[in-house]
Structure 1
Amino acid sequence: MSTPLEASAGRLPRQIPYIIGNEACERFSFYGMRNILVQFLTSSILLAYLPEAERAGMAKDVFHSFVIGVYFFPLLGGWLSDRYFGKYNTVLWFSLIYCAGHACLAVFEGDRTGFYSGLFLIALGSGGIKPLVVSFVGDQFDQSNKGKAKIVFDAFYWTINFGSFFASLLMPLILKKFGAAWAFGIPGILMFIATFIFWLGRKQYVNVPPDNADPDSFMRVVLSALRTQRSGEARPGYLVAVAGVVLAVAMLLGWALTATGLVSGIWPESFGFVITACLSLGALIAFGGWGASLQLERARGLHPDAAVDSVRAVLRILIVFALVTPFWSLFDQKASTWVLQGKEMVMPHDAWWWPSWLVSEAGQLQALNPAMVMLLIPFNNLVLYPWLRRLGFEPTPLRRMGWGIAFSGLAWIVAGVLQLWMDGGDAVSLAWQILPYALLTFGEILVSATALEFAYSQATQAMKGVIMAFWYLTSTFGGLWVLLTNAGVRNETVTAHIASTGLSENAFLMFFFAGFAFVAALAFALYARRYPMQDNYRVA
């Protein structure tokens, strides 16, 4: 066995630059198209069939439906990779789908069917590779050079934010000056380059074969717990899980009957397929997890105690993740609601410090997020956290996550105040949006970066892949809350209530989401107080 010194002195795998190059181009392509999507839709002919007042709401629906897909399809990519094709083949094939989606956006900028098909393909391709690339990097290391892995993972993090920064800064300008074909075409070209770079390294990669033969996987332990009968004992967990399946099927059936016009009134017409599918998935996870927790001890004897305890840990983590979903409903709206708000603000060209030569579109302010991330993470680690410890306050992962959710709520309070200022008829400088962006980014660091650290420490080695799949779903359900809210404000009773408050719809919703975050932060804090912390880091 190699010593730590020998491991850290090992050579960096020669194939790593191919993966890093792929990631840099892919992230630029993704954020390049994602961050101009709402501003393109609001002014495109794709939504010309709607009254002008409804276009912004529909653009937000399309955007958040897309985000939901991006964070749902990791389930499919991970399953195909683990069971059938391995990481390299799965990443390559999903990348080709990804390229096809970009091509659709560029070619069908004026055709709804073609454009939305492109968004679906990008969601499928981007989501399909999302859970695989980082673990594929890990596969390239062994005991002789594992000390170099941290360098590569740090490079990955900076690459993601580097690509996001320049894509957010440049693509709104391309959209404004050269039109949608170029604005969506350039990210497509970058994705093609990303795929080509990844393919170039094919003969050098370490390819771990797929292995789905684990008899003690998460799903197998859960199914054993639910199915096992004991003489003279009821099966409450099984009944709860079955109730979740029945509820999920009933919602999908209600949507289908309503959508086809066969039956009316059994399912809200404003709840389209995406909302219904997400609600159904939520019912399966919530009731299935609850049912499994009630009968989990029945899996002992059929599976090792360690496997059963690991599943118990995952079920506890799922509650933490569920309480994080409101954060994502606020965070992802920086690319939709905040962009729309920024378009109504005044560009501060008269300010001496404003870079007018570069920043001339409200959507470009999204570049603040990755820029601040790269600055705030070292600030937190080197300055803020040590200072808090000197004051006697230990910033544990759960405390950081709870405060992160609260800071996101504070960001939306500031955004709501800016909206009130605008609603009063004043010309408000876009520079004021820097403050909510800073607060939201600070919250993101406390939640997102910390959650991965928390989940890694709580989940056993065998369950870390399952945890990552559930983590991606937190963004899916964050998008669901936004779609449900948008559907709600189309109800006459809800709009009448908003009008009775004296607030504009935009201001009301900003304060509503802030309140949503504060309630979630409080619930998170209450649950965190009784959460039994684990330590599942690998023994050296």
Structure 2
Amino acid sequence: MAQAESGRMPRQIGYIIGNEACERFSFYGMRNILVPFLISSVLLQYLPEAERAGMAKDVFHKFVIGVYFFPLLGGWLSDRFFGKYNTVLWFSLIYCAGHACLALFEDNINGFYTGLLLIALGSGGIKPLVVSFCGDQFDQTNKDKAKLVFDAFYWIINFGSFFASLFAPLLLRHFGPAVAFGVPGVLMFIATLIFWMGRHRYVNVPPSGPNPHSFLNVVKTALRERRDGEGNLGSILAWSGIALAAAMLLSWALSVQGWAGFWPQSLDFVITFCLALGVLIAFGGWGASLQLERARGLHPDAAVDGVRAVLRILIVFALVTPFWSLFDQKASTWIIQGNAMVIPHDQWWWPSWLIKEPAQMQALNPLLVMLLIPFNNLVLYPGLRRMGVTVTPLRRMGWGIAFSGVSWIIAGALQLWIDSGAQVSLAWQSLPYLLLTFGEVLVSATALEFAYSQAPHAMKGVIMAFWYLTSTFGSLWVLITNAGVRNPRFESVIASSGLSEPAFLMFFFAGFAFLAAVAFGLYARRYPMQDNYRIAT
């Protein structure tokens, strides 16, 4: 196993960052053209034209749910059996196969959706591991370099994303879906090759293997242990969560078989499964926190304290989920809004030679990230510190959620303008993109550093997987809302508001973000920060 260089920037970091740049081009190249492709493709021609945009949006967010659910699998396999390097390499090959399916089966719904599943599995499987693998290259002697690398890591992700967002829609427009989906596949192969080339230089922290003091084992002990004179409310809560989750899945199965009244038809398997997963995590975590001290003496104090730290982190993560429900809709709802706007080709300042599709506006997001990260680090944060304002990671994340809400207020105002019959320039979308991206930098770039530093060593892969699971629940809220607007009662509420459905939902999601920001701020005030970088050997 390679050793970290004391006090110096690890040389192997270049392979990891190079891999990530190409992988992000690959991922965002296909992701950012998915909705416009589906709307106009033969895959959805079985639907009336007016319903295709809604179905494309549903397919997109189900894909996002898969991408951010499978980190649970990747993190578990890495921590338990194969280690980060092997797990990343093998899932990357699955990822490449998924891209091949998209390029080959543009007119075959089963083949295309198989490709989306494989990409979700491959991308999700490596997602929690690359960042934590990058963190493994540091120890206590050079951990001061880690923040620079995490910021550079996030910057290079957006470098790849920028060019993907800019050129993938043009590839789709001029060369068709086979080429538009094929080019990202080639980039994913290059990403895998770059990662493999650094195999002899990496610090490879071995998998923990079976651990009697793992997170789940400590939780099970806490819930099973009985004490005289004390109740078992924690166990009751955990079992209630299991029963409720099982009842939800059973109700969905019965509704599929035609047993009306058991479960709303609009809540399909993906929605039901995610709701059941949320119930398990919420009730199980709540129950474990109430009885966790019962595990002391049966497990080392460090393991019990580690579980307590993870449970606190999960509350932080839960409060971030509304941010992702807003952020990920820039590739669905905002593209659909952009299609109703006018591209200002007649203006001298508009780059008509390059920007030809509304989907290309997504390139603003990574471009702004590359500008805002150095601006924040070199200007904004030092300026706030000179003013006596402590810029903690949790404060940054809370304000980021709030800024995302402001961006959707602006998007809603643009939608009202469109609904009035005015010819609205696509250039106006730049303003909500700026505000949303500023919120993203405060939330997501900070969370990379926060999640790694807060996770106990044996649980770093899994806790990173839980972080990415926040995006799964973010898209879940979108799917639930989309299902709700098809309900006649919800339709009547929207109609009574005097707003169009798109405008109503934009203001609804803005309010959702503001409520989450307040709750996040209240919890952050009492969160105890940890330092879990490994000790140099």
The TM-score normalised by the length of structure 1 is 0.93
2:527 is aligned, of 518, 531, 534, to: 531
Equivalence for 2:422: 426
CA-to-aligned-CA distance 1:243-284 (integer Å, 9 cap, x gap):
1111111111111121233x2210111111110110010011
- Check 1:222–1:63 CA distance in 2 against 1; reply closer, same or farther (3 A cut): same
Secondary structure at the aligned position of 1:451 is classed as helix
CA-to-aligned-CA distance 1:394-439 (integer Å, 9 cap, x gap):
2322222221111111100000000000000000001100000000
| Alignment pair present for 1:222 and 2:216 | no
AA in 2 matched with 1:181: A
| Alignment pair present for 1:164 and 2:178 | no
Please give the alpha-carbon distance, in whole angstroms, between the structure 1 residues aligned to 2:46 and 2:21: 38
- The percentage of aligned residue pairs carrying the same residue is 77
CA-to-aligned-CA distance 1:330-377 (integer Å, 9 cap, x gap):
000001000111111111122222211111111111111111111111
Equivalence for 1:36: 33
Equivalence for 2:491: 495
- Check 1:395–1:488 CA distance in 2 against 1; reply closer, same or farther (3 A cut): same
Secondary structure at the aligned position of 2:24 is classed as helix
Equivalence for 1:375: 371
Aligned length: 533
CA-to-aligned-CA distance 1:102-121 (integer Å, 9 cap, x gap):
11111111111111111011
| Alignment pair present for 1:8 and 2:4 | no
Work out whether residues 81 and 210 of structure 1, in 8 Å CA contact, stay in contact via their aligned partners in 2.
yes
1:292 is aligned, of 288, 293, 305, to: 288
Please give the alpha-carbon distance, in whole angstroms, between the structure 2 residues aligned to 1:69 and 1:296: 31
Work out whether residues 10 and 144 of structure 1, in 8 Å CA contact, stay in contact via their aligned partners in 2.
no
Please give the alpha-carbon distance, in whole angstroms, between the structure 1 residues aligned to 2:9 and 2:408: 48
AA in 2 matched with 1:275: I
CA-to-aligned-CA distance 1:453-478 (integer Å, 9 cap, x gap):
33444444444333212111111100
Work out whether residues 7 and 146 of structure 1, in 8 Å CA contact, stay in contact via their aligned partners in 2.
no
Matches within 5 A, 1:160-239: 160-202=157-199, 205=202, 207-239=204-236
Please give the alpha-carbon distance, in whole angstroms, between the structure 1 residues aligned to 2:86 and 2:452: 26
Matches within 5 A, 1:14-163: 16-139=13-136, 153=150, 155-163=152-160
| Alignment pair present for 1:270 and 2:266 | yes
- Check 1:296–1:95 CA distance in 2 against 1; reply closer, same or farther (3 A cut): same
Worse-superposed segment, 522-531 or 496-505: 522-531
After TM superposition, give the deviation of residue 447 of structure 1 in Å: 1.3
| Alignment pair present for 1:337 and 2:333 | yes
Please give the alpha-carbon distance, in whole angstroms, between the structure 2 residues aligned to 1:41 and 1:201: 38
Worse-superposed segment, 464-473 or 385-394: 385-394
Please give the alpha-carbon distance, in whole angstroms, between the structure 1 residues aligned to 2:153 and 2:444: 16
The TM-score normalised by the length of structure 2 is 0.94
Worse-superposed segment, 387-396 or 62-71: 387-396
Secondary structure at the aligned position of 1:132 is classed as helix
Work out whether residues 311 and 463 of structure 1, in 8 Å CA contact, stay in contact via their aligned partners in 2.
no
| Alignment pair present for 1:318 and 2:345 | no
Secondary structure at the aligned position of 2:297 is classed as coil
Work out whether residues 72 and 465 of structure 2, in 8 Å CA contact, stay in contact via their aligned partners in 1.
yes
Equivalence for 2:466: 470
Equivalence for 1:395: 391
Structure 2 unaligned regions, length at least 5: none
Worse-superposed segment, 149-158 or 364-373: 149-158
Cα RMSD (Å) of the superposition? 2.3
CA-to-aligned-CA distance 1:446-499 (integer Å, 9 cap, x gap):
111223333444444444333212111111100100000000001111112211
Equivalence for 1:483: 479
- Check 1:502–1:148 CA distance in 2 against 1; reply closer, same or farther (3 A cut): closer
Please give the alpha-carbon distance, in whole angstroms, between the structure 2 residues aligned to 1:29 and 1:11: 26
Matches within 5 A, 1:353-372: 353-372=349-368
Secondary structure at the aligned position of 1:100 is classed as helix
After TM superposition, give the deviation of residue 218 of structure 1 in Å: 1.4
Worse-superposed segment, 344-353 or 524-533: 524-533
- Check 1:389–1:18 CA distance in 2 against 1; reply closer, same or farther (3 A cut): closer
AA in 1 matched with 2:226: Q
After TM superposition, give the deviation of residue 535 of structure 1 in Å: 5.0
Please give the alpha-carbon distance, in whole angstroms, between the structure 1 residues aligned to 2:525 and 2:146: 34
CA-to-aligned-CA distance 1:142-192 (integer Å, 9 cap, x gap):
789878766655553332111100000000011011111111111112112
Secondary structure at the aligned position of 1:69 is classed as helix
* Structure with higher RCO (Cα < 8 A, 6+ apart): 2
Work out whether residues 39 and 52 of structure 2, in 8 Å CA contact, stay in contact via their aligned partners in 1.
yes
Please give the alpha-carbon distance, in whole angstroms, between the structure 2 residues aligned to 1:10 and 1:342: 43
Work out whether residues 132 and 460 of structure 2, in 8 Å CA contact, stay in contact via their aligned partners in 1.
no
After TM superposition, give the deviation of residue 292 of structure 1 in Å: 0.2
| Alignment pair present for 1:444 and 2:443 | no
AA in 2 matched with 1:404: G
Please give the alpha-carbon distance, in whole angstroms, between the structure 2 residues aligned to 1:405 and 1:428: 27
- Check 1:55–1:502 CA distance in 2 against 1; reply closer, same or farther (3 A cut): same
Work out whether residues 150 and 448 of structure 2, in 8 Å CA contact, stay in contact via their aligned partners in 1.
no
After TM superposition, give the deviation of residue 91 of structure 1 in Å: 1.8
Work out whether residues 12 and 148 of structure 1, in 8 Å CA contact, stay in contact via their aligned partners in 2.
no
AA in 2 matched with 1:34: R
AA in 1 matched with 2:301: D
AA in 2 matched with 1:405: I
Work out whether residues 103 and 185 of structure 1, in 8 Å CA contact, stay in contact via their aligned partners in 2.
yes
Secondary structure at the aligned position of 1:426 is classed as coil
| Alignment pair present for 1:251 and 2:248 | yes
CA-to-aligned-CA distance 1:272-328 (integer Å, 9 cap, x gap):
111011001001100000000110110111112222222122212211211110000
- Check 1:270–1:454 CA distance in 2 against 1; reply closer, same or farther (3 A cut): same
Please give the alpha-carbon distance, in whole angstroms, between the structure 1 residues aligned to 2:206 and 2:229: 45
- Check 1:41–1:88 CA distance in 2 against 1; reply closer, same or farther (3 A cut): same
Structure 1 unaligned regions, length at least 5: none
